[in-house]
Chains A and B, each alone.
Chain A
Amino acid sequence: MVEFSTILAGFGDAFSLYNLAFVLFGVVLGQFVGAVPGIGPIMAMAIAIPFTFGLDPLPAIAFLVGVNKGGLVGGAVPAVLMNTPGTPDAAATALDGYPLAKQGKPLKATKMALFSSITGDTFSDIVLITVSAPLAVLALKMGPIEVVALMIFAFSILAGLIGNSLTKGIIAAAFGLLAASVGQDPENFTPRLIFGYWDLFDGLALPSVAIGMLAISEILHRLSEAHGNMRPTIIAKDTGNPDDRRVTWAEYWSCRFTMLRGATIGTILGALPGIGSTAAAFMSYAMTKASSKDPGSFGKGNIQGIAASESANSAVVGANLIPLLTLGIPGSVGAALIISAFMIHGMQPGPLLFENQGRLVYGLFGAMIMANFVNLWVGQLGLRLWVKVVSAPESIIFSSALLLCFVGVSMATSGLFGVAIMLIFAVIGYLMASFGYSLVIFIIAFFLGPRFEKSIAQSLALTNGDLTQVLKSPVALALLILSVVSVVWFLRKNVQGEDE
């Protein structure tokens, strides 16, 4: 168990002016890019990671946490003002945010989104801080056999939950594992599938693969759509009434149960790998509407709708880190990117992180809490500014983002070979997305691949190749049975979906 002095030291590290500056920079950048339709915090994090090389681990990760959290707040701005969500998470926010803005209350709508986003985020951060250390202690009791079973379970859940086809999920996971097997074999240290390119001996670089698939492939898609079609700016005008520009305490307080329900849904779904914040936002919105005395007012500018969506989608961010920090399994692309930042800075996510670098983990928690306050402050001041950002032309945004990706990956991989690999994976990512295969599953499988293979090798060493030894581990057995059950359940669900 982590000592109290370590926890205090971690929080002490976080609450320094130096870290505050990086959190502030991250939040400002996150809100800025979140407000630009088409970029979003995930792409911003992917681009920003290589630029954090020169920093110490805590400010680097605090900066990225700031980008992620700021992006969720910024994403609500175009959703409310233009009915064009900056991030998919904010799509449910547009359902009531945009009608409210059209009634001449754009600032009331964006402020309600800001307040409920911060409320949901803080709730899930508190849950994360409270439960992750005890869960990590439990996770430490797992041996390699249990780790293999856990990963098989995680793959089966991810493949079933993301996308509309379990088979496509399995293909995406298998393809990710195949890409992870390029390079040095972890057991015998011989070159594998490098095709004579010795630059591949250490494997495909995570920044090249992640940035190629998550950022460049999306930019390519956006570029093809933007051709000859410059986006017009449609900003709702406000009424001039001061009451329509603010959220009163009474209005905020009237949404307390909605926000609590949204935060709880977001936290629970965020802790499960693969579900994501968009599902949480829509589920919270639907439950709030169903339990409302006036369901007819939803979709017409009801602030309860904004509160439900924003509290849920923001609560996912903190909860996403629960499987990451306790088991080393990223539950979302955002968490996978945080993992790559951890690894760039020499940290191996998982239960041992609390034992080996407990101070840093609590520093991260401190930075997350600090980011919430900064998000609130920057949001209050910046909302009027982000309204201008919404109208920035795609031409400059995407050309700049491409150049930043080139430079970032070149720095991360020490040369243009990594940039070429990035472009190859951008094309693969674009084609996979075009044919309906999940990039999230691919990236998570790619990240977990080496650990998966190593755990299999360790398990075989421990059991002398006797697979019946698995029966002696109740945890592994239970996880494998759950994997089979989930695959059967998802297959049945797929078949039922096709019949309907």
Chain B
Amino acid sequence: MNTMADRVSGLFFMALGLAMYFWINPNYIETVDGGNISPATLPNIISIILAIAGAFIAIKPTDHQLRNPILMAKTGLYVALLTAGIWAMSWFGFEYVAPVLALAIMWLIGERRPLWLGLGVVAMPAIIWFLVTQLLGRALP
């Protein structure tokens, strides 16, 4: 029985709960006099629950199988691409970045057919632009 995935996630949630309770909540939640419930009460209770439940999972794990690590690494690549896309949009705008981002995603998937590439890179961003700016009258990012 492979229990590594649950042990790792259990330890993570235990560490998160403890970090929240001992460091994050005291430093990032203001203390207030009066009121029926202090701002830190619920986050503190949740942090304790997270730490206890995390420890429980780490001690008594299930045999949950983690996704294929190679696929997870590929997902990391797509996340990096999307992060770069958001960053680029903040500088150049959706109109310029969307076709490049669509092309990069389609290329990474393995799409090489010119017709589908054309549809994804030119037609779809143009349709979104028309829908948002012309029909809905809203601004693109």
Contact = CB atoms under 8 A, between A and B. Distances in A.
Contacts of B40: 192
A230 B5 contact: no
B18 interface: no
Interface residues of B, number: 69
- Looking at chain A, what size class is its interface with the partner chain? 35 or more
Nearest to B82: A423
A453 B42 contact: yes
Contact of B79 (A191, A423, A453): A423
Interface in B44-58: 46-47, 49-50, 53-54, 56-57
Contacts of B71: 221, 224-225
B129 to A, nearest CB: 9
Interface residues of A, dominant DSSP: helix
A374 B42 CA distance: 46
Contacts of B86: 406, 416, 419-420, 423
A423 B76 CA distance: 12
A193 B120 CA distance: 40
Contacts of A404: 128
Interface in A394-443: 394-396, 398-400, 402-404, 406-407, 410-411, 415-416, 419-420, 423, 426-427, 430, 434-437
A365 to B, nearest CB: 28
A403 B102 contact: yes
Interface string B99-141: 0011001101111010010011000110010011000111011
Contact of B78 (A164, A220, A406): A220
Contact of A407 (B43, B46, B50, B141): B141
A242 B71 CA distance: 46
24 contacts: A54-B136, A168-B57, A174-B49, A177-B42, A178-B20, A185-B39, A188-B35, A192-B28, A193-B29, A220-B78, A223-B74, A228-B109, A395-B120, A400-B128, A402-B82, A402-B105, A406-B94, A411-B138, A423-B86, A434-B66, A436-B5, A436-B9, A457-B36, A465-B36
